[in-house]
């Protein structure tokens, strides 16, 4: 495998044995141009309004960071409209980087899309509609190790779509004295009627929401938040997909002239835990 193939798997932290790409150790702070094939990453190009494979040139800039670490820069370009995205990769080797066939891992990946493109691996093709933006923000927060920030976005989506389904189904969102109904009760009522909680999380929907709330409002650490991010994200995406595929919900949404892409997301958490 050439190094470009590994980089093209970003943002996945993949590891693989690659062809030799350095003939000698690259000292700290020293640059070298490497030829390892073209990096190709899919983005939703905003100019083309379609998913495109953005590609780099034949040569990449490599910077020595440590004995087994290099930083690689690339500029990726849309093949149709020529919009560009800057990408940065931190690559770590098990042994010497200048070995004949080093085993390397993509430690970190950051891109600067400058409003020209959006990620596609977060929500595209999963039926998440306009929630893609919040899911992408959650993913980006996670990638830079901001676990609490990532959970805030997931909690917003969870609350918003549950309340919106309740509104469509005619389930009251207020409780006694017109106060806000506890989210636990609202989620239970909504799920009983429309089964929005994915089967894999059956019986644990509120438990996972409570995990989100404890991390957002409690004394949880960033490490714990990062550990719990993926199951919570899976639950949130599953809920969106369930609502989007519910035929009764579809008929009600159509009758109201709404769309799954137009569900309102509050700017801040609005429901009581």
Q: Pick the last residue of a domain from 119, 142, 174.
A: 119
CA R_g for the chain: 22
Give the pLDDT mean for 33-38. Answer: 95
- Point out the domain boundary residue: 86, 119, 152: 119
Together in a domain, 192 and 72: no
Residues 258 and 145 in one domain: yes
- Domain assignment of residue 200, given as a range: 129-262
Model confidence at 218, pLDDT cuts 50, 70, 90, reads low
Query: What percent of the chain clears pLDDT 70, i.e. is strictly above it?
Result: 83
271 occurs within a structural domain: no
Residue 29 and residue 153 in one domain: no
Question: Which pLDDT tens digit goes with each residue over 152-211?
Answer: 889 888 888 888 888 888 888 887 777 888 888 888 888 888 888 877 666 666 676 777
Domain boundary among 95, 119, 143: 119
Whether residue 100 is found in the same domain as residue 172: no
Within-domain flag for 270: no
Mean pLDDT over the full length of the chain = 82
Query: Does 124 map to a domain?
Result: no
pLDDT at 231 (0 to 100): 82
Number of domains in the chain: 2
Of the pLDDT bands very low, low, confident and very high (cuts 50, 70, 90), residue 31 is very high
Q: Note whether 11 and 134 are same-domain residues.
A: no
Which is more confidently placed, 50 or 208? 50
- Whether residue 84 is contained in a domain is answered as yes
Judge if 228 and 138 occupy the same domain.
yes
- Residue at 268 is within a domain: no
Residue 141 is predicted with a pLDDT of 87
Least confident of 105-119, 120-134, 137-151, 204-218: 120-134
Tell whether 20 and 73 lie within a shared domain.
yes
Report how far residue 237's alpha carbon sits from residue 172's, in angstroms, rounded to the nearest whole number. Answer: 24
Residues 200 and 115 in one domain: no
- Do 91 and 155 sit in the same domain of this protein? no
In the three-class reduction of DSSP (H, G, I as helix; E, B as strand; rest coil), residue 41 is classed as: strand
Q: Does a structural domain hold residue 239? A: yes
Question: Is 104 a member of any domain?
Answer: yes
Same domain as 151, residue 94 = no
User: Is 146 in the same domain as 249?
Assistant: yes
Q: Per-residue pLDDT tens for 82-125?
A: 999 999 999 999 988 988 999 999 988 988 888 888 887 544 34
Judge whether residue 258 has pLDDT over 60: no
- Contacts of 124-129 with C-beta under 8 Å, sequence gap 24+, read 124/44, 124/51, 126/237, 126/240, 126/241, 127/240, 127/241, 127/244, 127/245, 127/260, 128/237, 128/240, 128/241, 128/244, 129/240, 129/244, 129/259, 129/260, 129/261, 129/263
Average pLDDT rounded to a whole number, residues 17-29: 92
Same-domain status, 115 and 142 = no
**182 belongs to a structural domain:** yes
């Amino acid at each position: 495998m050439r190094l470009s193939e590994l980089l093209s798997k970003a943002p996945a932290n993949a590891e693989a044995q690659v062809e030799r790409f350095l003939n000698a150790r690259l000292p700290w702070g020293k640059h070298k141009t490497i030829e390892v094939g073209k990096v190709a990453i899919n983005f939703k190009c905003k100019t083309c309004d379609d998913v495109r494979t953005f590609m780099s040139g034949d040569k990449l800039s490599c910077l020595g960071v440590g004995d087994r670490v290099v930083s690689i820069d690339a500029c990726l370009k849309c093949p149709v409209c020529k919009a560009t995205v800057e990408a940065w990769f931190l690559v770590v080797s098990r042994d010497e980087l200048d070995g004949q066939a080093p085993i390397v891992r993509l430690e970190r990946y950051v891109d600067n899309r400058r409003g020209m493109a959006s990620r596609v691996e977060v929500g595209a093709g999963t039926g998440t509609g306009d929630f893609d933006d919040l899911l992408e923000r959650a993913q980006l927060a996670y990638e830079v190790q901001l676990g609490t920030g990532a959970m805030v976005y997931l909690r917003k989506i969870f609350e918003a779509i549950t309340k919106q389904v309740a509104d469509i189904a005619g389930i009251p969102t207020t409780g006694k004295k017109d106060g806000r109904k506890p989210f636990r009760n609202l989620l239970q009522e909504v799920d009983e009627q429309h089964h929005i909680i994915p089967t894999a999380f059956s019986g644990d929907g509120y438990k996972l929401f409570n995990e989100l709330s404890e991390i957002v409002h409690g004394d949880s650490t960033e490490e714990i938040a990062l550990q719990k991010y993926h199951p919570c994200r899976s639950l949130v995406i599953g809920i969106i997909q369930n609502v989007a595929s519910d035929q009764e919900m579809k008929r009600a949404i159509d009758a109201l002239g709404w769309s799954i892409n137009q569900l309102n997301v509050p700017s801040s958490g609005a429901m009581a835990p």
